[in-house]
């Protein structure tokens, strides 16, 4: 990767949660990748089911209105990739052990993602879309 002006990054839920919840020691590197999108240097997206996962996890830490505002902010910054029945079926056929990760890989491929940024690259080893940690991504742009 020699730049990221037109790069399309699919974000795993853990990366967005790192930023929203300021989870250490991951916050700084995850935020640096998300910042590329906010600066218009790349496009970013999450799956629709990632939005429900984030709501479920963050509701334990945030009141309802700040939580809704945080999720609206995510949707203003990142595209929300559709998850169709066909995607759900296709994900079952991917050679990946984690179904949720397979679904992200399938949706990322349909969206035309150049890569998936995640802290969990081992579960994406057989993904049709290359997965990278925030550190590896930042080193390669």
Q: What percent of the chain has pLDDT over 90?
A: 92
Number of domains in the chain: 1
- CB within 8 A of 139, min separation 6: which ones? none
Question: Alpha-carbon distance 5 to 34, whole Å?
Answer: 14
pLDDT of the residue at 3: 53
Q: Is the pTM of this model over 0.85?
A: yes
pLDDT of the residue at 61: 85
Q: Domain for residue 3, yes or no?
A: no
Name the one residue in this structure whose structure tokens are 């052990």.
97
Q: What percent of the chain has pLDDT over 70?
A: 96
Q: Domain for residue 66, yes or no?
A: yes
Q: Which domain holds residue 36?
A: 8-136
Q: Domain for residue 55, yes or no?
A: yes
Q: Is the pLDDT of residue 49 over 70?
A: yes
pLDDT of the residue at 1: 46
The pLDDT tens digits for 112-131 are: 999 999 999 999 999 999 99
Q: What CATH number has the domain bearing residue 48?
A: 3.40.50.1010
Average pLDDT over residues 54-64: 92
Question: Alpha-carbon distance 16 to 70, whole Å?
Answer: 11
Alpha helices in the chain (DSSP H): 13-20, 27-38, 48-58, 64-77, 85-93, 99-111, 134-140
pLDDT of the residue at 2: 45
pLDDT of the residue at 131: 98
Q: Domain for residue 2, yes or no?
A: no
The pLDDT confidence band at residue 94, using thresholds 50, 70 and 90, is: very high
The pLDDT tens digits for 25-36 are: 999 999 999 999
pLDDT of the residue at 141: 83
Q: Domain for residue 98, yes or no?
A: yes
């Amino acid at each position: 990767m020699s730049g990221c002006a037109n790069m399309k990054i699919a974000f795993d839920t853990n990366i967005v949660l790192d930023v929203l919840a300021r989870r250490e020691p991951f916050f700084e590197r995850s935020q640096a990748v998300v910042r590329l999108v906010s600066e218009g240097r790349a496009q970013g997206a999450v799956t629709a089911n990632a939005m429900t996962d984030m709501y479920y996890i963050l509701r334990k830490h945030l009141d309802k209105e700040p939580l809704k505002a945080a999720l609206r902010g995510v949707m203003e910054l990142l595209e929300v990739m559709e998850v169709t029945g066909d995607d759900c079926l296709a994900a079952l056929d991917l050679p990946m052990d984690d179904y949720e990760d397979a679904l992200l890989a399938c949706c990322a491929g349909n969206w035309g993602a150049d890569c998936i940024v995640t802290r969990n690259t081992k579960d994406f080893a057989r993904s049709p879309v290359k997965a990278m940690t925030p550190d590896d991504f930042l080193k390669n742009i």
